[in-house]
Amino acid sequence: MTWQRRARLGLALFALIFVIVVVLSLRRRPTTTESVPKREDPRAIVESGPGVTLSTEGAKEDLKIAYERWLQYADGTSKLSAITVDLPPRDGKAMTLTGDEALIEAEPAEAQPQAGQAGQSTATPMSTIMPDRMTVRGNVKLRSSDGLIVSAAEAMYDKGTEIVRVPGAVTFTRGRMSGRSRGATYDSRRDVLWLLAEPRITVAPDQRGEGASDMTASQAGFARRDRYVRLLDGVRIVRGAQITRADNSTLFLQPEADIVQRAELRGHSSVETPDAMPGALRSMSAVNIDLAYAPDGRALQEASLSGNAAIQMAGQPGVGGRRLAGNTLSLGFAPDGSTLTTLNARDRVRVDLPAQESTPARVIRSATLVATGPPTGINQARFERDVEYVEREAVTREGQPAADRTVTARRLDTDTAPGFGDIERAMFTGSVTLKEGNTREGNAEQVDYEVKKSTVALSSPGKTGVGARVSDERISVTATTINTSLDGETLVATGGVRSVLKARREGAEKRGRPVMFRDSEPVNVTASRLESKGALAVYTGQARLWQGATAISAKTLTLDDDSGNLQGEGNVVSTLELEQEPASPAATNGNSTAVRSAGPSGLAKGTPAKSAPTTITAQALDYQEADRRAIYTGGPPQPHLVGPEGDLRADRIELYLDEEGRQLERLEGYTDVSLKTIPTEGASAPRDGAGARLTYFADEEKYVMTGGPVVVLEQLPTECRETIGSILTFYKATDTIRMDGNAGRRTQTVAGKCPERE
């Protein structure tokens, strides 16, 4: 078939189809009736089905409202049902507000949809202009893409401020966190949720059953972008066993989780753990408190307290815990969140330590405190400036009420049991004063207090001319170092020891003191070292004891303060200032008994007593107060006495004093005795005597010497007279000698001077 034939066939087919179409189109069309939609609210002037309204800011979508139905009324208000409002996204978070219906205030005409037939519209309204305000009611929910859901019966949205307001009951949830309130606001620009009245926020336990908390206040704000929760007016937070209270509080959250990183408590702040283990932190309180937590948000790591700050440690059952107060406190904790490892306090610092079975209650005051320790707890503390340490009613004396022990210093360093426990050692430094009631006092530049041993060591290192001093009612001791027990029973002093045995106060009990030292006046003692235990005091190293002109020195002096006994060892030198009384006239005739008048001290009335020193040297002294007897022994060299009684040497010399210790009653010399009399007015010549024993009666000024034999040398002007016998009696007052003995008496005279006796 040629192409011309095929073309003619195609044109014929097209013409046939065209005719058919025209015929069909010209046929009469059936008449149809348009259906009218049912009206939901007869009062509405416009009703619309599902639709979306958009608000843009430039080319960016700002707000989107989707709804199932739109009703518009003659007054310009609109009602949207089944509404969904997509709020402007912030920081990558999408926020959606939904509800059963929304009421919109009157809008400009151009924002309203165009009416169709019978006042109805089948078109979907679209606009770039949004309502300024809308009220959403019924099953209102505000959802965030990060899981926050806020639920209420009614909410109001203000486009200008981008704030959602909830007037009634409201709840919210986000992960483990949930809360409720009466009234709330949500600021979408700042991403801040405020619970306005009686809010309560709870955090459910984690999978391990930990981390639960419950928070209440008058108002609460949740700043999600800035990651903090603010609680206002009457804050109460329960976290496990921990209860936190404050006027206001701000909880700062971790960047990626609703876990508390730190907390600020403001006004009447406190944190309490009622069931804390003994030694752990039980409570803290202050005007303001700042808390920092471990990454888990539960374990406390740091705390800063300011304004009348105080912490209370948990004590053993039935015993109060330790308490620390100051104007400001800074605390650091071990990983467990309850064990203190660092503590700093400033301004009006006070530590109260309760009484234990073996220790009294204690109070420490200072200007500052710094305490540190390992993870097991604080074991060292330093108090500085205006330190005052007090042990309550720690000093007990028989017949006296209990008194406080008080120590003041510039600084105090303490070693404690772990956990800021009992003080084991206390080192006081800088102008230290220790007082035990009104009975005992100590002073030094440094005092080391061994609490368990109940001892103190006083010293003044590096202070030239400044020593340690301890003083009580009876004695005062000054030395380079002094170690003493708290009860005063033992004391060791070394280095330049100076003691003062104090005068007896009027009305006080008579003391056990050697009678030659009057207890109405102080007695001084110096030595290199002093050791005392109870009433016994041992002075060593060039020891010297004196009162006025009466003095006793030795390498070692031992004084018994109860009995009044005194011992000296090594290079003993005694100087006794004794009153001298002339012999009575009865003694001039050689009578063995002298008659004394009734005047004081045996002196004739109106006759003033004369005193003169008697010096005795020996290697040992044993003074027995009960007998008022001083015994000098040792040698070589022999004990040696020089005084008004004469110049006496013997292996043993004994002095007997009167009841008042002012006069000599009797003098005894034993073994290898030699006596050189001191020339007196009216005496014919000095005499030397030698024998086995000498007795001197002071009231008669009578010497009686015995031995085998007794030898007396008298130095005459041009010759020496020697007298030998068994018994020599010499009256110093009358310068008369009587020699007796079974062997008779033999006298010989030689020219020249008498030989010197060794």
- Mean pLDDT value of segment 587-599: 38
Tens of pLDDT, residue by residue over 693-720, are 999 998 888 999 988 788 888 878 888 8
Taking the C-alpha atoms of residue 666 and residue 657, their distance in angstroms, rounded to an integer, is 7
pLDDT-based confidence at residue 331 (cuts at 50, 70, 90): very high
The residue ranking higher by pLDDT, 744 or 94, is 94
Confidence at residue 104, expressed as pLDDT on a 0 to 100 scale = 85
The residue ranking higher by pLDDT, 523 or 124, is 523
Q: Which of 285-294, 423-432, 679-688 has the lowest mean pLDDT?
A: 679-688
For the cut 80, the answer to whether the pLDDT of residue 91 exceeds it is no
Both tokens assigned to 719: 């010759």
pLDDT-based confidence at residue 22 (cuts at 50, 70, 90): very low
Q: Which of 48-62, 222-236, 307-321, 701-715 has the lowest mean pLDDT?
A: 48-62
The residue ranking higher by pLDDT, 223 or 504, is 223
For the cut 50, the answer to whether the pLDDT of residue 320 exceeds it is yes
- Mean pLDDT value of segment 348-361: 88
- Mean pLDDT value of segment 509-538: 89
pLDDT-based confidence at residue 369 (cuts at 50, 70, 90): very high
- For the chain, list the domains and their CATH numbers: 44-139 (no CATH), 565-584+610-751 (2.60.450.10)
Number of C-beta neighbours around residue 591 at 10 A: 14
For the cut 50, the answer to whether the pLDDT of residue 112 exceeds it is no
- Mean pLDDT value of segment 465-486: 89
Tens of pLDDT, residue by residue over 633-669, are 998 899 999 988 889 999 999 999 998 888 999 999 9
pLDDT-based confidence at residue 130 (cuts at 50, 70, 90): low
Tens of pLDDT, residue by residue over 168-201, are 999 999 888 899 999 999 898 888 989 999 999 9
For the cut 90, the answer to whether the pLDDT of residue 109 exceeds it is no
State which of 19-23, 329-333, 451-455 shows the largest mean pLDDT. Answer: 329-333
Confidence at residue 120, expressed as pLDDT on a 0 to 100 scale = 40
Number of C-beta neighbours around residue 627 at 10 A: 11
The residue ranking higher by pLDDT, 208 or 366, is 366
- Mean pLDDT value of segment 544-569: 94
Taking the C-alpha atoms of residue 80 and residue 97, their distance in angstroms, rounded to an integer, is 13
Vertex 654, ends 648 and 660: CA angle to 5°?
115
- Mean pLDDT value of segment 316-338: 88
- Mean pLDDT value of segment 456-463: 86
pLDDT-based confidence at residue 399 (cuts at 50, 70, 90): low
Confidence at residue 317, expressed as pLDDT on a 0 to 100 scale = 80
Q: Which of 62-66, 454-458, 678-682 has the lowest mean pLDDT?
A: 678-682
Distance of CA 707 to the CA centre of its chain: 75
For the cut 50, the answer to whether the pLDDT of residue 602 exceeds it is no
- Mean pLDDT value of segment 341-361: 90
Residue 270, strand partner residues: 245, 285
Confidence at residue 118, expressed as pLDDT on a 0 to 100 scale = 34
Confidence at residue 5, expressed as pLDDT on a 0 to 100 scale = 56
Helix (H) / strand (E) containing 66: strand 60-67
The residue ranking higher by pLDDT, 497 or 512, is 497
pLDDT-based confidence at residue 29 (cuts at 50, 70, 90): low
Which residues neighbour 227 within 8 Å (Cβ) at sequence distance 6 or greater? 252, 253, 254, 255
Residue 588 backbone phi and psi in degrees, to 5? -70, -20
Taking Cα atoms as reference points, which of 53, 70, 50, 71 lies closest to residue 62?
53
Vertex 372, ends 368 and 378: CA angle to 5°?
110
Confidence at residue 239, expressed as pLDDT on a 0 to 100 scale = 86
Confidence at residue 58, expressed as pLDDT on a 0 to 100 scale = 65
Taking the C-alpha atoms of residue 337 and residue 553, their distance in angstroms, rounded to an integer, is 66
Largest CA distance in the chain: 208
pLDDT-based confidence at residue 431 (cuts at 50, 70, 90): very high
Q: Which of 356-370, 544-558, 595-609 has the lowest mean pLDDT?
A: 595-609
Both tokens assigned to 512: 């056990």
Confidence at residue 418, expressed as pLDDT on a 0 to 100 scale = 83
Number of C-beta neighbours around residue 664 at 10 A: 24
- Mean pLDDT value of segment 444-448: 95
State which of 258-262, 614-618, 705-709 shows the largest mean pLDDT. Answer: 614-618
Which residues neighbour 742 within 8 Å (Cβ) at sequence distance 6 or greater? 726
Residue 391, strand partner residues: 362, 405
For the cut 70, the answer to whether the pLDDT of residue 575 exceeds it is yes
For the cut 50, the answer to whether the pLDDT of residue 123 exceeds it is no
The residue ranking higher by pLDDT, 59 or 434, is 434
Tracing tokens 């949720």 back to the chain, one arrives at 193
- Mean pLDDT value of segment 488-500: 92
Confidence at residue 470, expressed as pLDDT on a 0 to 100 scale = 94
Amino acid identity at 128 = T
Task: Please provide the average confidence, as pLDDT, over all residues in the chain.
Answer: 83
- Mean pLDDT value of segment 709-732: 83
